[in-house]
Every structure is written in C-alpha cells, then in structure tokens.
Amino acid sequence: MTIIQLEYLLAVANCGSFSLAAEHCFVTQPSLSMQVKALEEELGVVLLDRSKKPVIPTEAGDVVLERARETLRAYNNIRESVAELKGETSGKLRLGVIPTIAPYLLHKFILAFVRDYPKVELEISEMITSDIVEALKRDRIDAALVASGTCGEGILEQELFNDRFFAYVSPENALYERSNIRIEDIDLRDLVILSAGNCMRDQIIELCQAKRDMPSHYSFESGSLDTLMRIVDCTSCLTIIPEMAVEYIPADHRDRLKMLAKGATSRKIAVAVRRTYVKSSIIKALTDTIMANAPEVGN
C-alpha cells in the first residue's frame, strides 16, 4: 500500500470518475486505474462500484476512504509541521469561498497573501455553504470564508469582522423616499432574494421572520447579488445586500441604498476549518492578511 494509491483512490471517490480523477492527478487513466486495482488486490476487497455513474465507494471502500483521509492528512502535514518548527509558513491551502463574499473580498487580499507567503500554494474555489461543509468534512478543502454560524458541528469558525445588511430599493417602491427602513415595513412580495442553497438567503428569511416559502415576484438560481440589484433597477422591488458590496454600486444608484433600522442584524465573516486541521501557521497568515487588507465594514 502506498500514498499514491491512497491519493488516487480518494481522487476517484471525490471526482466520481476514473477519467476525471486522472486529470485531477495529472496522470493517465490506465496508470491511475492500475494503482487502484493493485490496492484492491492487496486488501482483498472491491473498493469502488464501477457499475455506478458516478463511481461510488463500496461499503469496504467507505471504511478505507475514511482511514485514507486521515493518513493523507497526517502525511501532508509532516512538511507543514517541520516548516512551523523552522519558523516558515509553507504548504498548500485549499480555500473555499461563498458567492456572496468572493467577488467583494478575494481581490483585496490575494495579491498581498501571495507576495508575503510565496511558499504557500493557494487554491481557491467558489462554493455554496452546504458544499463547503461537505468539502471540509471530506478533506477536499482546508478552510473556507463563510458567514459565521452556518457550518454546523465539527467545523471551527474564527470570526473576522461584521458585515451589516443594507436595503437596495427601486425608485418605484414605496420605501424609496425613506432614508431608514424598518424590517417590518418591507412588503415580502416586493423582496427579491437569493435562491435556495445560499446561506445569505436563509439569513434574510430569518431576519424578516418569514416562512421559507415566502412570497416573492422573482427567484434566481445564479446566486448573484448583482443580478438581484439589476432586477430591482428595472422593477418596483427591493433586495438586501451586505455592506461589502456597497462600494461597487455606481454613484448614480447610491440613492437606492437605504440603512436598515437599528436592531437589524448583520452577518459575521469567518474563516472555517475542520476541528482536526493542524496548519495553524497558514490559517494565521490568511486571517492576518485578510484583516490587514479587508474593507473597514461593520464599524
């Protein structure tokens, strides 16, 4: 049994396909298949159900994969642990980011992070919260930028800063003339929100104390706040956006931005990691860089 065999097995389980796993591992499919087959022969069990599309683990495969993840984590952490002893920050950081954070925050700190920590290999994926939680638990990513309180058990969250909510209101809406809006004054039929799967949608629904089947004229699968604001621009609707998006609203549309009345909630931006994650120096480097370069929101 070798580390390569475990890596290839995990890649097939994650990708659901031998061909995609081979691409991910930068090897030919026959080479990858041969290594997985050799592992199965050594253990005397079939680890993957090849008749399924996508390929899925067998019962024995699930057991081996759980141990393989633990083994690969320990193996990959050797170099990082030695680097920490030497006072270096190095290794790979696979970072997930939710769609309502990625376009407004990533570009503010990535260049500084790459410049200051050249020995860290940074991989970034935009993902909704449920996929981030699954990826963290299955060791597909190392950390994530999320809204605090949305990841559940088994995930540690380090809060970074507050991100207040604002209303973005159409000039055709009755609330447009107000400078300050109370949540209870919002007609839910005029409120456009993100589609299911976006944690900010759940936060807005909770904020409005509404049911999950709340009425709305529009619903979108894109998960794009920009799309929601464009819909508001051409209708009589309104939406709720985070403060980190405010600076990207054109000057001639800033009049549509309204403060929510005192007591309205905000979200907290956090870095999430598995409870068993040990690359503490890399996470500290990430959080320090974000805090040094992030916009001053929530103050």
Statement to judge: residues 156 and 176 lie in one domain: no
Statement to judge: residues 169 and 250 lie in one domain: yes
- The CATH number of residue 149's host domain is 3.40.190.10
- Domain membership of residue 81 (yes or no) is no
User: Can you tell me the distance from the alpha carbon of 49 to that of 212, in angstroms, rounded to the nearest whole number?
Assistant: 38
Statement to judge: residues 149 and 203 lie in one domain: no
- Domain membership of residue 191 (yes or no) is yes
Tell me the three state secondary structure of residue 95.
strand
Domain of 56 in residue numbering reads as: 3-67
Look at residue 22 in the predicted model and tell me its pLDDT. 93
**Proportion of the chain in helix, strand, coil states, percent, rounded to 5:** 45, 20, 35
Statement to judge: residues 139 and 7 lie in one domain: no
Statement to judge: residues 142 and 285 lie in one domain: yes
Q: Copy the structure tokens of residue 154.
A: 């088994």
Statement to judge: residues 261 and 169 lie in one domain: yes
Per-residue pLDDT of the chain (299 residues; tens, 9 = 90+): 999 999 999 999 988 999 999 998 989 999 999 999 999 999 999 999 999 889 999 999 999 998 998 898 788 778 777 777 777 788 888 999 999 999 999 999 999 999 999 989 999 999 999 999 989 888 888 899 999 988 888 899 999 999 999 999 999 999 999 988 988 888 888 888 887 777 887 788 777 765 445 555 554 445 688 989 999 999 999 999 999 999 999 999 999 999 988 665 789 999 999 876 667 888 999 999 999 987 665 44
166 forms bridges with which residues in the sheet? 241, 259
- Total domains in the chain come to 3
Statement to judge: residues 204 and 258 lie in one domain: yes
- Domain membership of residue 77 (yes or no) is no
- Domain membership of residue 80 (yes or no) is no
The pTM score is 0.76
Q: How far is CA 131 from CA 106, 127, 138, 179, 286, in A?
A: 19, 6, 10, 37, 21
- Domain membership of residue 298 (yes or no) is no
User: For residue 15, which amino acid is it?
Assistant: C
- Domain membership of residue 214 (yes or no) is yes
- Domain membership of residue 151 (yes or no) is yes
Statement to judge: residues 169 and 260 lie in one domain: yes
Statement to judge: residues 167 and 258 lie in one domain: yes
